[in-house]
Amino acid sequence: MAKIFICGLVFLLLTACSPQSSEHTANTDAVSANKTSTFEVTDVWARATFAMAQTGAVYLTLNNQTETDVSLLSASVPSDLADEVQLHDMAMNDGMMQMQEMVDGVNVDVGETLEFRPGGKHIMLLGLKKPLNDGDSFELTLRFKNRDELTLLVNVKDARNLN
Ligand SMILES: [Cu+2]
């Protein structure tokens, strides 16, 4: 009887501890200006463009494990890279999928993980001044409502090489 009780206790301890340790690992890997924060921006990349491209797209994942909703208002890149940066989403328009600007920004609710990915939400670079080549990197600054801005390094990847 005593043995069973001990095993049960160990099992409980293990299950109680494992979510915490995996969360800790995720925080360590996260790109974040504020280490105590549990708002994370991960998987930041831009799709490589062809030589004369006028536009580019950046993708990332926003994960809000704070106590308050987070609102991403805008993004910017150095002026020698692009003229303008907009937050875009895809929407049906006259039976066609088209992209449109999210002029009011985008909300990340408490506990939500929001993915910007090809075919969905993306950060659009307009008036691209040079092509984005596989292996390049550049700085992207995100501005939030009620939150410090965040500057991230974006790696350019050839989408054909992605899994
Ligand atoms: Cu777009």
Ligand 1 centre from 38 Cα, in Å? 28
CATH number of residue 19's parent domain: 2.60.40.1890
Ligand 1 centre from 134 Cα, in Å? 20
Domains in the chain: how many in total? 1
Mean pLDDT by 10 residues, the chain (163 residues): 45 41 41 63 96 96 95 98 98 92 97 96 97 97 95 93 62
In the numeric block, the tokens 């095993």 are attached to 7
List, as ranges, residues with CB under 5 A of the ion ligand 1.
Answer: 88, 99, 124
Tell me which residue range forms the domain holding 45.
2-161
Ligand 1 centre from 91 Cα, in Å? 11
Per the DSSP assignment, residues forming a β-bridge with 33 are none
Residue 159's pLDDT is: 81
Long-range contacts of the stretch 95-103 (C-beta < 8 A, 24+): 99/124
Residue 24's pLDDT is: 41
Residue 11's pLDDT is: 43
Ligand 1 centre from 28 Cα, in Å? 31
Nearest Cα to 157, choosing from 136, 141, 127, 130?
136
Residue 156's pLDDT is: 98
Long-range contacts of the stretch 89-94 (C-beta < 8 A, 24+): 89/120, 89/121, 90/119, 90/120, 90/121
pTM summary value: 0.75
Residue type, 59: Y
